[in-house]
Each structure stands twice: as C-alpha cells, then as structure tokens.
Amino acid sequence: MTASDQTGVAIALLAVGGSMFATCLPLIKRRVPMNRFYGIRVREAFESNERWLDINAYGGRQFAMWSLPIVITGILGLILSTHLVFIYIPIAIGVIVLSALIPLIQTIRWIKESQKDVTRRWS
C-alpha cells in the first residue's frame, strides 16, 4: 500500500458518504412514493403508503446520520500522515461496514417495535 492508496480511499469515502447522505434526503422528507427500486424496501413498508413513508423517513434519518462517520473518515484520510496508511485503510473498512450495518439494524428493530405499537392500538 502506498500514500496514493490512502488518498484514493479517502476520496472514495468522501464520495460514498456524501452520496449516502444525499440519497437519504428525499426519504427523510417523505418525497419517495412506494416503489420497487429506491428506499427501505422491506415487507412491512409495503403494507400501506403511510407505513412506507414512516419506515423510509426513519431509515433515511438513520442512514444519513451514519453517513457522517464515513465522511469524517474520508477527511481524516486526507489530513493524516501517509505513513499511517496501514492503519487507516483497515479502520476505514470497519467504518464503512459499521455505518451500513448499524442503521440497518436500528431500522429493522424500529420496524418491529412500531409494528407492536400498531398491533396494540388495534387490539
């Protein structure tokens, strides 16, 4: 690995984090109608239009929030000394994995909890 590898990874992280954040904004603002291509597409989201919007707004907020560690890691990669490339790249990979898994798990847990609330209201 070389110094240019660190710079390349840092720039890629900035692009990924920025894209992740940008794609979440329409979800957060509830501007994405139910579809098969874009959004948090889980079975529960297709139960109703309201449920689709609620799940996508919540999931969008979680993914937008977790895009920030990716962007910060990208910025740090541009600032850090290039002799730290052997430490930086594994940490960057970990940040990407966690920044994808944590909001996914949070969203799935929220869907299950909010489904229980809906069921309680109708009981």
Distance separating alpha carbons of residues 42 and 52, to the nearest angstrom: 9
Neighbours of 53 (CB within 10 A): 19
- Tell me: pLDDT of 123 over 60: no
| pLDDT value for 116 | 81
Tens digit of pLDDT for each residue in 17-38?
999 999 999 999 999 999 999 9
| Domain residue spans of the chain | 3-122
- Mean confidence (pLDDT) of the chain: 94
Give the pLDDT band of residue 12 (cuts 50, 70, 90). very high
Gap between the Cα atoms of 45 and 12, Å rounded:
31
